[in-house]
Structure 1
Amino acid sequence: MKSRPSIVSMLFVACFAAGCGTSPTPLHEAREVPPARVFERPVVKSTNPAKVTIVRDQGLHGAEHVFTILVNGRQVAELRQGEKVIVSADPGTVFIEARMFNITGRVPPVQVETNVQEGKTYTYRVGLDELTLRLLRDLSASN
Structure 2
Amino acid sequence: MKKQCERSLNYGIIGNCRSGALVSDKGAIEWLCLPKFDSGSVFGKLLDEEKGGSFEILPETETKITQKYDWNTNILITRFACADGTFEVHDFMPRYKLDNGNYYTPPMSSAILSTSTGHPLFELFTTPDWNTPGTLRK
**TM value normalised by structure 2:** 0.31
Question: Which structure: greater helix fraction?
Answer: 1
Q: Which has the larger radius of gyration?
A: 1
Question: Which structure: greater strand fraction?
Answer: 2
